[in-house]
């Protein structure tokens, strides 16, 4: 009777290396895609091109592996160290480049993706050829691919849920660079009898681990250096969530909030934006009691809603719990919204607004839609006719919805696309605009089943709006007047492309 032998220690060690190698490679790919979407916008386009370039480079690397014939363990060790350094430092390098030489960001991004992809493409073929000395071909392929896919699965789950929220992109890259370097150290020990220049390899391993370890220890300083340069004002709060990078700065304009590098408000003039967003709809309604706010996790729109004593309940739906936590607990930020998120009238729900509208059965007198601009398809879905059809169902018969809608001056086509999309689901629209110095001329749209009429009274204490000043907001000069626009549908999201084209002319 034959006894089946278990896997040899060398085989186990190399298969474990495959798991780590696959995990590290996917982290570098995801980090590059995330950074590209943060900086360049349009996450679908950026992830698609980064993944495509990365896979192409892996194919090139796999093809190049045929030219490595001798000293395979030594080649594998060197490649691991190169992947550790280039991949581990990739997020930090791109962050610093964006801050100091933004015009070079795109070239460096794809250059690094191609280099890392080629190196990762070399790794697996070399491991397979080393294992081939001890494992049958059929078992070899199945085992290597199994561990490769398992490593990719583990990282694909951990990256958005654990790594980025807890460590941030820079430290995540450095951590996995260290893991690649540890694989190299492992290979150094496993193949110590085959390596001709053991001391040189050992010194290279120690240098790589030391460099990455020092960078990891100083990662907060690297992040601060890049963000201080980019934001210019002093950063008083910065953290990453599963969805975005949240940065608050303090400068001459007071506190300013940035999400993924995009300005959301400045303390010096946010009252103009939020008064214009809330009061033309709320005051015109007459007696709103039940209100919903979609987006607006900073609580500033809620602050304006609480000026109406007749309001009984406000439901705030914001995807990111970090946003609502920060703006309800941080003393300086909570002071901006007058502690609105702690009001007993306010119920905070952290979920996707699209899904929430699909599930909720309540109807509301006023719905305030305060999403970021449609810079990518994940946000763009919240500007589609599918979303507005759900919005219409949740609006009371006499209710008003108001939607912030980018600049009708800079992004004229985009603004009127949203108007056309709202009208396509049977809602009447009343577009208007207001000047907010931090943003320029900014647009809003009131949508309802009944015609909008200018309010006869406004709450006391407003700094921008007056009863007499509201009607002129609905008058559009010739350079912002309506232009033909197609409906933004979930299947094509033409608005995202239009928005990127129009804003790209201003911010090349």
Higher local confidence (pLDDT), 264 or 228: 264
The predicted structure's pLDDT at residue 326? 93
Measured at the alpha carbon of residue 212, what is the angle toward residues 210 and 213, in degrees to the nearest 5?
A: 60
Q: Annotated active-site positions, please?
A: 370
- Taking the C-alpha atoms of residue 107 and residue 96, their distance in angstroms, rounded to an integer, is 14
Over residues 390-406, the mean pLDDT reads: 95
Least confident of 34-38, 322-326, 388-392, 474-478: 34-38
Inform me whether the pLDDT recorded for 1 exceeds 50.
Answer: no
Residue 274 DSSP SS3: helix
What's the pLDDT tens digit per position in 6-59?
456 656 666 777 788 888 888 999 888 888 877 776 667 788 889 999 999 999
d(CA 455, CA 288): 13
**Backbone torsions φ then ψ of 488, nearest 5 degrees:** -85, 115
Q: Label the pairing between strands 262-266 and 254-259.
A: antiparallel
CA distance linking residue 343 with residue 64, whole number of Å? 63
Say yes or no to pLDDT of 508 above 60: no
How many angstroms separate the CA atoms of 377 and 374, rounded? 7
Instruction: Report yes or no on whether pTM surpasses 0.75.
Output: no
Sign of CA dihedral 218, 223, 226, 229: negative
Using CA atoms, how far apart are residues 338 and 336, in angstroms rounded to an integer?
A: 6
Residue in 161, 169, 130 with CA at minimum distance from that of residue 21: 130
Per-residue confidence (pLDDT) for residue 413, from 0 to 100: 96
In what order do the strands lie in the sheet containing 440-448? 346-349, 313-317, 290-295, 364-370, 395-404, 440-448, 428-436
Q: What percent of the chain has pLDDT over 90?
A: 55
Residue 4 pLDDT > 60: no
- Band of pLDDT at residue 195, cut at 50, 70 and 90: confident
Least-confidence region, from 205-214, 216-225, 291-300: 216-225
For position 3, what pLDDT does the model report?
40
The pLDDT of residue 231 is above 80: no
Contacts for 65-71: CB closer than 8 Å, 24+ residues apart = 65/121, 65/122, 65/125, 65/126, 65/129, 68/122, 68/126, 71/194, 71/196
Question: If 0-12 CB within 10 Å is exposed, 13-18 middle and 19+ buried, where does residue 138 land?
Answer: exposed
The residue ranking higher by pLDDT, 472 or 229, is 472
User: Cα–Cα distance between 441 and 435 in angstroms, integer?
Assistant: 4
- Judged against a pLDDT cut of 70, whether residue 225 lies above it is answered with yes
Least confident of 66-70, 109-113, 205-209, 442-446: 66-70
Q: How far apart are CA 459 and CA 365, in angstroms?
A: 18
CA distance 407 to 417: 12
User: For the residues 401-417, what does the mean pLDDT come to?
Assistant: 96
The least confident of 15-29, 254-268, 302-316, 339-353 is: 15-29
pLDDT of 222 reads 81
398 contacts 507 by C-beta, under 8 angstroms: no
CA distance 308 to 283: 9
Which segments of 132-259 does DSSP mark as H helices, in order?
A: 137-158, 164-190, 198-217, 219-231
Lowest mean pLDDT across 225-229, 257-261, 301-305: 225-229
Measured CA to CA, the distance from residue 194 to residue 453 in angstroms comes to: 84
Residue 374 has pLDDT above 70, yes or no: yes
pLDDT at 221: 82
**How high does pLDDT run on average in the chain?**
87
In 3D space, the residue among 125, 101, 121, 123 whose CA is nearest the CA of residue 113 turns out to be 121
């Amino acid at each position: 009777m034959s006894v089946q032998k278990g896997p040899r220690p060398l085989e186990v060690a190399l298969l474990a290396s495959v798991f780590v190698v696959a995990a590290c490679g996917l982290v570098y790919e995801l980090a590059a895609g995330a950074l590209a979407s943060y900086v360049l916008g349009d996450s679908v386009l950026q992830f698609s091109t980064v993944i495509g370039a990365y896979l192409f480079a892996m194919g090139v690397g796999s093809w190049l592996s045929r030219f490595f014939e001798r000293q395979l363990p030594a080649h594998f060790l060197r490649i691991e160290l190169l992947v550790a350094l280039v991949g581990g430092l990739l997020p930090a390098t791109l962050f610093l480049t964006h801050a100091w030489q933004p015009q070079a960001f795109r070239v460096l991004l794809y250059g690094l993706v191609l280099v890392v992809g080629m190196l990762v493409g070399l790794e697996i073929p070399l491991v397979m050829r080393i294992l081939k000395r001890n494992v049958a071909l059929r078992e070899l392929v199945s085992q290597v691919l199994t561990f490769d896919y398992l490593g990719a699965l583990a990282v694909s789950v951990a990256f958005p849920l654990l790594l980025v929220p807890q460590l941030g992109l820079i430290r995540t890259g450095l951590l996995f660079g260290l893991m690649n370097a540890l694989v190299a150290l492992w290979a150094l020990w496993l193949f110590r009898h085959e390596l001709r220049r053991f001391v040189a390899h050992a010194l290279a391993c120690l240098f790589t681990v030391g460099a990455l370890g020092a960078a990891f220890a100083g990662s907060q300083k690297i992040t601060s250096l890049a963000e201080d340069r980019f934001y210019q004002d002093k950063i008083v709060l910065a953290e990453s969530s599963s969805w975005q990078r949240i940065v608050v700065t303090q400068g001459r304009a007071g506190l300013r909030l940035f999400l993924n590098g995009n300005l959301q408000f400045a303390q010096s003039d946010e009252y103009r934006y939020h008064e214009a967003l809330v009061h033309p709809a709320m005051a015109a309604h007459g007696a709103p009691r039940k209100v919903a706010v979609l987006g607006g996790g900073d609580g500033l729109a809620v602050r304006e809603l609480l000026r109406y004593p007749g309001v009984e309940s406000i439901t705030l739906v914001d995807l990111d719990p970090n946003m609502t936590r920060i703006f309800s607990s941080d003393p300086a930020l909570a002071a901006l919204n007058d502690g609105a998120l702690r009001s007993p009238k306010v119920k905070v729900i952290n979920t996707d607004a699209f899904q929430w509208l699909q599930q909720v059965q309540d109807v509301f007198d006023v719905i305030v839609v305060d999403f970021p601009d449609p810079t990518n398809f994940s946000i763009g879905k919240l500007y589609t006719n599918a979303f507005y059809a759900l919005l219409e169902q949740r609006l009371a018969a006499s209710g008003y919805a108001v939607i912030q809608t980018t600049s009708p001056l800079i992004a004229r086509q985009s603004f009127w696309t949203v108007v056309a999309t709202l009208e396509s689901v049977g809602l009447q629209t009343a577009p208007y605009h207001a000047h907010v110095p931090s943003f320029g001329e900014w647009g809003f749209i009131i949508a309802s089943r009944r015609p909008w009429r200018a309010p006869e009274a406004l709450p006391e204490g407003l700094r921008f709006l007056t009863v007499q000043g509201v009607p002129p907001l609905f008058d559009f000069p010739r350079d912002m007047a309506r232009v033909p626009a197609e409906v933004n549908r979930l299947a094509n999201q033409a608005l995202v492309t239009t928005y990127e084209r129009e804003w790209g002319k201003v911010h090349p």
